[in-house]
Chains A and B, each alone.
Chain A
Amino acid sequence: MKKTPSIDRRQFLKVVSVAGAGLAIGFYVSPKNFRDEVAGATPGIFAPNVWLRIDKSGSITVTVSKSEMGQGISTGLPMILAEELEADWTKIRFERADADTKYGSMGTGGSRSTRSLWNPLREAGAAAREMLISAAAQTWNVGRETCRAEVGGIVHVPSGRKLAFGELVEAASKLAVPENVPLKDPRDFHILGKRMHRLDTPEKIDGSAMFGIDVRVPGMLHAVVARPPIFGGSVKSVNATEAKAMPGVRHVVEISQGIAVVADSTWNAIQGRKALEIIWDEGPNANLSSAKIRSMLQEFSTRDGAVAEERGDVSLLGKAAKMIEAVYELPYLAHATMEPMNCTADVRNNRCEIWAPTQSADGARGAVAEAIGLSQDNVIVHVTYLGGGFGRRFESDFVVEAANISKAINAPVKVLWTRDDDMQHDWYRTTSLHHLIASANEKGELVAFKHKIIAPSINGQRWPQRVRGGLDHSAVEGAVELEYELPNSRIEYVMANTAIPVGWWRSVSASQNVFVVESFIDELASAAAIDPLEYRRQLLKKDSRMKNVLEIVAEKSAWGAPLPKGRYRGIACAPPAFFGSYIAHVAEISIEDNNVRVHRVVSAVDCGICVNPDSVEAQIESSIAFGITAALKGVITIEKGRVMQRNFDDYMLLTIDEMPKVEVHIVPSNLPVGGMGEPGLPPIAPAIANAVFAATGKRIRKLPIRLA
């Protein structure tokens, strides 16, 4: 496996108070008094900070420093700024930022974008608003306390006179940027919390949205790469004579990732690659298989794990009336973004320009600079739209590879990964094995609980210095910091690394751990002969937000009421520890010919202040679709050191006829904003599996669900 310097999006999770902002560079550049030197020096443009520009026509451009991969961030972030600015929403447009340290971390992941930019964008909008008020007061020669901002202009309250923002651009540009500006009371919000139409939708319905794969640069060639099919393999020898003679093929070059075939069109590059004769050095993993990995995890499960969390006295486990034990396991999964990996690079004359669908513009910039030996000042990274991200595009492997090829041929090149390339050279959601033991007293009350997670570690594989005492904190997310009050409990982790590259996959370890915990809680409820909702209630604090969300989902799904014949319900929830939002789902299923069908999902979420309800709903719908795919279909298997799946015929995605109705209920709140890109995913698989138990009495302890 090739190690590329990438960024651990969770590294500073618990350390940096401006959570997520410090991922790439470890600190956050406060933008509030940071006048944009370039834009601010342009006559006729008011640019008090790096986040916005207002021109004389009144058009407001908000800079979006996070990648748009479908989550709606290009609308949500401008809404935050526009609210404080008192902007006319119809004047707002957005512009994607190139990689630059002035924005702080640009890494887009961990459901952190809104949380990390909430304060900076509010302050940026408020500072601009205050400057526009001062500019109007000066223009009218009145006290600024008699002026106020509203809907894209400043009003002199006593006289009713009004100047639009565009008319104040020049006067405002001459003012100093204020500090400690007042922020609005959430009760006065009139943009935030509204269903705003996404600013990126028009481009996405007429073919004009520019994804990475759509980039065209003058003189650009097209490349595909033959990469070692076996993890840890390399090129032993290559005969490129025939490939070079293929129509349109211009270059065949060896780079550290494999053999690149460069042609005048994508199709000719693909045909050229087929004509390569490569003998691979299979390396040390040629006998690796899913069965061997499973045996290794089982062997490791007898070891004592690193203690991730401990409460009370877990030795009480063996002393209670009833013991419940279970073993759970989950497979490797691919990201399978609809837009396969691709990148366009132009490395010439000690300068590098990149166009990439990346979740980590700044990470990619650093990785490319290091790989091709340039200073970061000479590496420009433009971020395109992303045809899905889900964590795959947090990696910079595909960006570095394109830069290597461009450098080798001294010409701009677009590198496309075919679907096979993408499926077989991913950074997979890791496999995992889970041993759980709990004990209960004669009344069925939980006495003690132990969960041992045996799994490969993302950090351990790439950044071993981050694993202290055998514990990768990322690997236990969703298993620790539960909202349940478990009296005596221990959560352990046994690191079991393999040669299969593992990476961030939407909701990461919570996608496994929440499935296991919420399924096992259902087992405990069943063992105690208590309704699963009631059992969860008893483990939650009385007035907790988690409990409130469960009550809402129960009410809206009519939990406990009879269902039509053949329909069954399951419930599950997920704690806010890692994404900042509380969420619960009730899934309604039926089973026919051993196939599970999900008909309806009722979801309740408390995400604090809700920026755009439509986007919150869309993210839950999306997380549910992604999670059902994993629960019912997803599995990546390894034979002879390579991935056996290659396209959508053997790595199946959900189709429209399999998509349930989704109903989302959002808890009104003025509490701090929570993340929404991921939290809807972890609880859907256990909600379905618990419904399967309700239907069949069969407990699902292995994903994907196979009833036959």
Chain B
Amino acid sequence: MASMTLTINGKIHSVNVQQGTPLLWVLRDSLGLTGTKFGCGEGYCGCCTVIIDGDAVKSCGASVESAVGKKITTIEGLSRDRDHPVQRAWIEEEVPQCGYCQSGQILTAAALIARNPHPSDSDIDAAMDGVLCRCGTYHRIRRAIHHAADLKAGAK
């Protein structure tokens, strides 16, 4: 066991876990941040995506040690009142169905528009094609990302 300090959603957490434990399971089991989902465990589905220092990262493949000293954002910390432009767009475009993959979708989209304020369709394809949705909400996701970009631009 090893004691480590993580900065998640602006707060400092101390955890005591086996070295090499994926960040995913530390978030879910040790810290109760269950908005980050387990889907495949091998980086194919993106359900477990979090934002680390601005990048969308699949937390099933990131060891807890690798996240020490970095700024981690999970779905619980994306905004205070579901008012991040991506979340607002997700509500307005009625994106989720079962909802299971949506934390990963939303965080990947948030990282995209933070870096690229007006992504094209092909930018969206490139950023989002590692996050699977079995319900097929993809074309609403596309619509919502464009909408979120507009909301974000309008808010400035």
Partner-B contacts on A (CB < 8 A) = 68-72, 197-198, 200-211, 213-214, 216, 222, 247-248, 265-268, 271, 336-340, 385-390, 416, 418-419, 614, 618, 621-626, 647-649, 653-657, 659-662
Contacts and interface: CB of A to CB of B under 8 A. Distances in A.
Contact of A205 (B1, B90, B100, B140): B90
B76 interface: yes
Contacts of A214: 28, 34
A387 B136 CA distance: 13
Contact of A216 (B32, B44, B102): B32
A390 B134 CA distance: 10
B40 A209 contact: no
Contacts of A390: 134
Contacts of A386: 98
Contact of B91 (A72, A197, A216, A649): A197
Contacts of B75: 205-207
Main secondary structure of the interface of A (DSSP, over half): loop
Interface string B17-44: 1100110010011101111111111101
B39 A419 contact: yes
Given A201-B96, A205-B102, A338-B39, A626 B22 contact: no
B29 A387 contact: no
Nearest to A420: B41
Contacts of B82: 202, 205-206
B42 A649 contact: yes
Contacts of B44: 647-649
Interface string B86-127: 010011001111111111001000000000000000001100
B137 A622 contact: yes
A654 B38 contact: no
Interface string B114-156: 0000000000110011111111111111100000000000000
A201 B90 contact: yes
B1 A388 contact: no
A459 B55 CA distance: 49
Nearest to B100: A387
Contacts of B129: 655-657
A647 B42 contact: yes
Contact of A268 (B18, B90, B131): B18
A388 B135 contact: yes
Nearest to A621: B136
Contacts, number: 188
B94 A622 contact: no
A209 B94 contact: no
Interface string B62-94: 000000000000111011001000010011001
Contacts of B90: 201, 205
Contact of A248 (B18, B74, B94): B18
B134 A266 contact: no
* Chain B CB within 10 Å, residue with most, of A271, A387, A418: A387
A242 B103 CA distance: 37
Contacts of A208: 35, 76
A338 B139 contact: no
B47 interface: yes
Nearest to A336: B134
Interface residues of B, dominant DSSP: loop
A334 B68 CA distance: 38
B44 to A, nearest CB: 4
A621 B139 contact: yes
Contacts of A209: 99
Interface of B: 1, 17-18, 21-22, 25, 28-30, 32-42, 44-45, 47, 74-76, 78-79, 82, 87, 90-91, 94-103, 106, 124-125, 128-142
A209 B100 CA distance: 9
Contacts of B40: 419, 647-648
Nearest to B102: A204
A614 B94 contact: yes
A38 to B, nearest CB: 30
Contacts of A247: 1, 18
B94 A201 contact: yes
B68 to A, nearest CB: 17
A339 B132 CA distance: 11
Given A205-B102, A387-B37, A387-B101, 15 more contacts: A68-B98, A70-B135, A201-B91, A207-B76, A213-B34, A248-B18, A266-B29, A267-B18, A337-B98, A339-B39, A385-B99, A388-B100, A648-B45, A657-B125, A659-B136
Contacts of A622: 97, 135-137
28 contacts: A72-B97, A198-B96, A201-B95, A205-B82, A205-B95, A214-B34, A216-B32, A266-B38, A268-B18, A337-B98, A338-B39, A338-B47, A338-B100, A338-B134, A385-B99, A387-B99, A388-B100, A388-B135, A419-B40, A618-B94, A621-B136, A624-B136, A647-B41, A654-B132, A656-B125, A656-B141, A659-B138, A661-B139
Contact of A267 (B25, B42, B87, B91): B25
Nearest to B1: A247
A338 B106 contact: no
A623 B135 CA distance: 8
A618 B139 CA distance: 10
Instruction: Among B17, B78, B96, B139, find the residue whose CB has the most chain A CB atoms closer than 10 A.
Output: B96
B37 A206 contact: no
Contact of B36 (A69, A203, A207, A624): A207
A648 B41 contact: no
B134 A337 contact: yes
A197 B94 contact: yes
B30 A625 contact: no
Contacts of B96: 70, 198, 200-201, 204-205
B29 A213 contact: no
B76 A206 contact: yes
Contacts of A213: 34, 37-38
A126 B21 CA distance: 55
A338 B98 contact: yes
Contact of B22 (A202, A267, A338): A267
Contacts of A203: 99
